[in-house]
Amino acid sequence: MKYLPTLFVGVVGYVLFLVAALYGVSFTLGGLLPDPISIPHAPPALALLVDVGLLLIFGIPHSLMARSGWKKRWTTIIPSAMERSLYVLIASCILLAMFWCWQPISGVIWQVNGLAVRVAIFGVCLAGWSLVVLSTFQIDHFELFGLRQTWQALRDQPQPQVEFRRPVLYRIVRHPMMAGFLLAFWATPTMTVDRLVFTLGMTIYILVGVTFEERALRRQFGKTYAKYQADVPQLIPLPRKIHSFIWMKLKGASSGSAATMRR
């Protein structure tokens, strides 16, 4: 019975995450799913303030709750097995509120009209979301969203220890999940003003969040993570070896051209 609250938070948090993820995909594809609440559209200036406020309401708590100091204090109040699930539940609720209360702002930054190109761009967006999902399973999907911790608690087993691993996607970039989000957010054939506000806000959040996360990982794994940083790029999948290979080819071609001219 003592683990029922942990089980409840774990299951509800995961279900809300799935709903929030669906609304996130819908949002980036142009609003395919209906909003369950009807919010009147505000004038542009007020709409901008609302949208920026929603981004801050998501970004600040989401970042603070991910820090080790917060987790230590938080787990003095709640069971440690519930910590991750409660984080997922709160973040999912804030995300849903953001998608449902988001205010459109008139004005188009860019628009692609060709059907084939629009389809291709939406394909890139969906590829980004696919990368996000695949990245979660490359590490531990159920631990990431708190279900494994809940299951271990129900079985009275110790919580799993965090290990440093380098699955396939994480050998290409250090943060494939964040790279997938960036693809999904920026790949749109119609970039409206409010969509640009959302995309810029989430991009800043991702870059700041990755910086803090990497500091924590360096403290946790030391030289192992420092070497990983040196070997694998952060977000753009262009390893240094490929860069060096391209540079050597270009240098060789340049030398060959110079030799031909001397002859």
Who contacts 13 (Cβ-Cβ below 8 Å, separation ≥6)?
Answer: 85, 86, 88, 89, 92, 145, 146
Alpha carbon 84 to chain centroid, angstroms: 16
Q: CA-CA distance, 168 to 117, in Å (whole number)?
A: 30
pLDDT for 166: 87
Pick from 197, 185, 201, 205: nearest CA to 48? 197
What letters, b where the CB count within 10 A reaches 16 and e where it falls short, cover 210-237?
Answer: beebbeebeeeeeeebeebeeebbeeee
pLDDT for 242: 53
According to DSSP, the residues that pair with 191 across neighbouring strands are 110
Residue with tokens 């631990």: 143
pLDDT for 250: 56
CB atoms within 10 A of CB 170: 17
Q: Give domain limits for the chain.
A: 4-252
pLDDT for 132: 95
Q: CA-CA distance, 36 to 97, in Å (whole number)?
A: 10
Contact assessment for residue 97 and residue 23, using Cβ atoms and an 8 Å cutoff = no
pLDDT for 190: 93
Who contacts 82 (Cβ-Cβ below 8 Å, separation ≥6)?
Answer: 5, 6, 9, 10, 146, 149, 150, 153
Residue 192, phi then psi, degrees to nearest 5: -85, 170
* Residue ranges in the chain whose pLDDT is less than 70: 1-2, 160, 239-263
Given 3-state DSSP classes, what are the helix, strand and coil percentages for the chain, each rounded to the nearest 5? 70, 5, 25
Contact assessment for residue 239 and residue 172, using Cβ atoms and an 8 Å cutoff = yes
Contact assessment for residue 105 and residue 48, using Cβ atoms and an 8 Å cutoff = yes
Look up the pTM and report it: 0.84
Q: CA-CA distance, 177 to 179, in Å (whole number)?
A: 5
Pick from 177, 241, 171, 159: nearest CA to 213? 177
pLDDT for 240: 56
